[in-house]
Amino acid sequence: MSSAVHDVPAARTAGREVVIRRPGADEAVASLLIAGDLCLAGRFALPPRAAQTPWDALRTEISGHDLAMVNLECPLTAEPAPITKTGPALSGHPALAATIAGGGFGAVSLANNHILDAGPGGLADTLRACGEAGLATVGAGEDRASAEAPLSLSLAGLRIAVIACAEREFSVAGRSSPGAAPLDPWRTPQLVRAAASAHDATVVVLHGGNEYLSVPRPGLVAACRALVDAGAAAVVCHHAHVAGPWEVYRGAPICYGTGNFLFPIDESLPQGWCDGYLVGLRLTADGASALRLVPSVQKTDRVGVVPMDEDAASAFFEELARNAAVVADPAALEDAWHRHCRARRPYYLSAVLGLTRGERLVSRYVRWPAWRRPHRRIPELLHLFRCDSHREAVETMLEEERWD
């Protein structure tokens, strides 16, 4: 069970910092900052020589750590070759790599659902641009083994490992194909155990969760806690595009959603899209000693991100504290998850059963679209998705189909 949800209100009144354990006077302490989703694509892509960094107002906070890293949510390439997928295919200008480095970041996580949007060439261009800018990368590579390789660091005399992984979407690497490191319930904990045995502290950066859901799904909570059980000193999640709560589980902080760092889009902004937080970790050979969260807000009148003002930050942290209480209560978390699934019911039914637009509207008001699949056959459908062996067979069959 979680042990530090109760520290959240105290953290808000004490500079938004949770002290997990006070290090000894002679104990080495390394500081690592992790920011959420960064994507400057399309018309928001930076020119080759940007006049200033869009996060200059946060530069002092970012630079005040031994290393700062951000999730690069788009490939950087001048010649994108978009893959066939659902959802938007994003790409940014290679010059963004130099801007990231110039803005105080020393590393980027590439394990996310968009890193392969511009194809294998786009990923290769991204790795090249980051390398030329002096940015370390983690979480993506030319095959699964290289994507899963941890970023091994020496910070303040400590050996720190960062492992980055993403839920399985169109971006994940295969045994011999490029992409992002996949989150795997069996393999990822093994990688954490191996890294933890060779380093003083191991941090996992996980790209996953349900978009616009401000509490983690029960399965994500179980996955993050399993990574702590495997030896992770901290787990930091992003992807949902809204901020999620945090807890301390067995002495390790778990942040269930940083929200966006900087991700301007053309469409109307969903609630919570502009609000996020940066995660500051203090790490020792015995794990994380402190967690600091810095709330930030994207500007809507220009491409930029700034610190959240005190009044907004107070309300922001109160909301996170309420959601942290939900995570600490399994029944409340299960209820929140079922409410989310009921709200998303028309979308999932449409995708699974191939409903037309009209049928999708009707599905909002009927118990089940029996005209598409008899109600008595729901158990068969459930079995295909719930049983790992059947689900993997369906995945393999669909992967072998031509999509174009």
Instruction: Report the CATH number at residue 247.
Output: 3.60.21.10
Which among 269, 297, 329 is the end of a domain? 329
Confidence (pLDDT) at 284: 98
Model confidence at 267: pLDDT above 50: yes
**Does one domain contain both 303 and 156?**
yes
Model confidence at 16: pLDDT above 90: no
**Does one domain contain both 72 and 183?**
yes
Confidence (pLDDT) at 217: 98
**Does one domain contain both 260 and 380?**
no
- Quickly state the pLDDT bin for 49 (edges 50, 70, 90): low
**Does one domain contain both 119 and 218?**
yes
**Does one domain contain both 60 and 88?**
yes
**Does one domain contain both 283 and 356?**
no
Look at phi and psi of residue 74 and say left if phi exceeds 0, alpha if psi is from -120 to 50, else beta. Answer: beta
**Does one domain contain both 278 and 342?**
no
**Does one domain contain both 182 and 254?**
yes
Find the Cα–Cα–Cα–Cα dihedral 361, 364, 367, 368, rounded to 10°.
40
Domain with 387, as residue range(s), is 336-400
Q: What is the mean pLDDT of the chain?
A: 93
pLDDT digits (tens, 9 = 90+) for 171-204: 999 999 999 999 999 999 999 999 999 999 999 9
Which among 266, 299, 329 is the end of a domain? 329
Q: How many domains does the chain have?
A: 2
Residue 56 is given by DSSP the state: G
**Does one domain contain both 125 and 266?**
yes
**Does one domain contain both 151 and 75?**
yes
SS3 5: helix
Model confidence at 121: pLDDT above 80: yes
**Does one domain contain both 121 and 259?**
yes
More confident call, 394 vs 16: 394
**Does one domain contain both 49 and 92?**
yes
The reply to whether the predicted model has a pTM over 0.85 is yes
List the one residue out of 122, 121, 120 whose CA is nearest residue 90: 122
Model confidence at 10: pLDDT above 50: no
Which among 329, 353, 387 is the end of a domain? 329
Amino acid at 149: A
